[in-house]
């Protein structure tokens, strides 16, 4: 009787005072049912910049909407929380749960990462997606970033880019000597080998550097983005094709710990949202580039020029040398190089009788 009376009084006391036992039992299911998770996404792009910045915005919006608001992602442009080139570190240490950028920006941390952004004379967007999703590329990418506590995913592609803006004509390889050009990744090493001086700059600093003469040339993306940046005001010669970036992959970076703490359905939403944005961004660039190019030429009197064949041949030769040297730096880079080149060879063979053959037939 005394024992039953003690339990009764203890239970009543717990209810009146918000006792520990009662609190734990009632709170546990409420935490799981009602919790809303908030993530930060830091990017290398200027806030709301067309294509690149809005692609990051779309990714955040999709995750938020597809999760029914259970996982809310807020986007921060370059310098709002961290500088553009510190995005990878911020995600790695957990200061932000997500990032959006391009793998060649962190080549100092992982040289092999450049294969997952853009390889000169490498693969276009369609081919890169095939390698990543069905050729083992994505697994190699995730293995590479594992030691940094980061999970990567393709989250956008610009398609074949333009060769860049120049304040003088490029008629021969000799014209590249001494050229100070903003250019990232493997393309920068190729330019250096051709006698130029590559300069690393985030997007927000390109226009002023070109206008002031701090650099002689710059690549950025293509007509859609280049028009938005007003690069035609600082240089008039616009060259193609973008030999250095034939299918530039943009990456979502996800903090591994934050990702693993999500329930399975939210993990799936994050990764599938990346795939949606990856497809959507390429479609947007394909839809908007030609209209922007027409504006640059007709309204702003930009001088559109193709790179001479001998320049492209020399750059291709130098690219082979640079890529092989990067591959020799470590075992992971060598493994990635072998996978990339083998897939490139077989997809080129297929495209000769499919995409290339069709494009040629369409021009007849």
CA 336 to chain centre: 18
**Class of residue 69 by CB neighbours under 10 A (exposed 0-12, middle 13-18, buried 19+):** exposed
Q: How far is CA 55 from CA 117, 184, 284, 327, 357, in A?
A: 16, 20, 10, 31, 32
Q: How far is CA 295 from CA 77, 119, 232, 289, in A?
A: 27, 29, 11, 10
**Class of residue 245 by CB neighbours under 10 A (exposed 0-12, middle 13-18, buried 19+):** buried
Q: How confident is the model at residue 51 (pLDDT cuts 50, 70, 90)?
A: very high
Is the predicted pLDDT of residue 239 greater than 50, yes or no? Answer: yes
Q: How confident is the model at residue 46 (pLDDT cuts 50, 70, 90)?
A: very high
Look at residue 34 in the predicted model and tell me its pLDDT.
59
Angle between helices 185-193 and 309-327 (to 10 degrees): 120
Is the predicted pLDDT of residue 180 greater than 50, yes or no? Answer: yes
Terminal alpha carbon distance of the chain:
100
Look at residue 9 in the predicted model and tell me its pLDDT.
43
Look at residue 92 in the predicted model and tell me its pLDDT.
98
pLDDT tens, 302-360?
Answer: 999 999 999 999 999 999 999 999 999 899 999 999 999 999 999 999 999 999 999 99
Contact 139, 277 (CB under 8 A): no
Q: Where are the alpha helices (DSSP H) in the chain?
A: 2-17, 20-34, 52-66, 87-92, 125-134, 137-145, 185-193, 206-212, 223-229, 256-260, 264-298, 309-327, 331-352, 355-363
Look at residue 107 in the predicted model and tell me its pLDDT.
93
Is CATH 3.30.470.20 what the domain over 36-158+247-286 is classified as, yes or no?
no
CA 253 to chain centre: 9
Contact 66, 271 (CB under 8 A): no
For residue 243, what are the contacts with CB-CB under 8 A and spacing of at least 6? 120, 121, 163, 187, 307, 312, 315, 316, 319
Look at residue 35 in the predicted model and tell me its pLDDT.
80
More confident residue, 106 or 6: 106
Is the predicted pLDDT of residue 20 greater than 90, yes or no? Answer: no
- Average pLDDT estimate for 57-85: 97
Cα–Cα distance for residue pair 65/68, rounded to 1 Å: 5
- Average pLDDT estimate for 88-94: 98
More confident residue, 80 or 29: 80
Q: Give the largest Cα separation in the chain, rounded.
A: 103
Tell if the pTM clears 0.75, that is, is over it: yes
Look at residue 88 in the predicted model and tell me its pLDDT.
98
More confident residue, 234 or 16: 234
Contact 257, 150 (CB under 8 A): no
More confident residue, 12 or 257: 257
pLDDT tens, 110-163?
Answer: 999 999 999 999 999 999 999 999 999 999 999 999 999 999 999 999 999 999
Is the predicted pLDDT of residue 227 greater than 50, yes or no? Answer: yes
Cα–Cα distance for residue pair 251/106, rounded to 1 Å: 12
Contact 98, 252 (CB under 8 A): yes
Contact 174, 298 (CB under 8 A): no
- What value does the mean pLDDT of the chain take? 92
Strand partners of residue 180: 197
**Structure tokens belonging to residue 169:** 């004509």
- Average pLDDT estimate for 271-289: 98
Q: How many residues does the chain have?
A: 364
Q: How confident is the model at residue 74 (pLDDT cuts 50, 70, 90)?
A: very high
Cα–Cα distance for residue pair 82/89, rounded to 1 Å: 9
CB atoms within 10 A of CB 38: 10
pLDDT tens, 191-220?
Answer: 999 999 999 999 999 999 999 999 999 999
């Amino acid at each position: 009787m005394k024992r039953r009376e003690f339990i009764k009084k203890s239970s009543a006391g717990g209810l009146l005072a918000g006792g520990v036992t009662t609190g734990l039992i009632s709170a546990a299911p409420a935490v799981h049912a009602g919790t809303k998770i908030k993530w930060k996404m830091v990017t290398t792009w200027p806030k709301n910049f067309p294509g690149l910045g809005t692609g990051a915005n779309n990714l955040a919006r999709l995750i938020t909407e597809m999760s029914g608001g259970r996982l809310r992602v807020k986007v921060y442009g370059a310098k709002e929380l961290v500088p553009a080139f510190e995005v990878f570190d911020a995600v790695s240490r957990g200061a932000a749960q997500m990032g959006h950028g391009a793998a060649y920006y962190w080549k100092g941390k992982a040289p092999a990462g450049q294969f997952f952004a853009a390889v000169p004379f490498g693969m276009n967007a369609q081919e890169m997606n095939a390698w990543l999703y069905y050729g083992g590329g994505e697994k190699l990418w995730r293995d590479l970033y594992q030691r940094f506590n980061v999970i990567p995913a393709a989250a956008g592609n610009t398609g074949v880019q333009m060769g860049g803006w120049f304040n003088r004509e490029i008629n021969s390889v000799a014209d590249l000597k001494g050229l100070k050009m903003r250019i990232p990744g493997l393309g920068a090493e190729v330019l250096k080998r051709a006698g130029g001086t590559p300069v690393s700059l985030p997007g927000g600093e390109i226009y002023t550097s070109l206008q002031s003469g701090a650099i002689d040339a710059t690549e950025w993306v293509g007509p859609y983005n280049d028009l938005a940046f007003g690069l035609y005001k600082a240089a008039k010669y616009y060259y193609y094709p973008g030999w250095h970036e034939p299918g530039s992959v943009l990456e979502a970076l996800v903090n591994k710990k934050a990702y693993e703490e999500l329930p399975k359905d939210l993990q799936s939403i994050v990764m599938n949202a990346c795939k949606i944005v990856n497809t959507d961004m390429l479609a947007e660039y394909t839809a908007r580039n030609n209209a922007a190019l027409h504006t640059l030429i007709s309204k702003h009197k930009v001088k559109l020029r193709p790179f001479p064949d001998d320049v492209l041949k020399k750059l291709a030769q130098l690219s082979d040398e640079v890529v092989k040297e990067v591959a020799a730096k470590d075992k992971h880079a060598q493994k990635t190089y072998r996978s990339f080149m083998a897939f490139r060879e077989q997809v080129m063979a297929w495209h000769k009788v499919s995409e290339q053959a069709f494009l040629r037939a369409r021009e007849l």
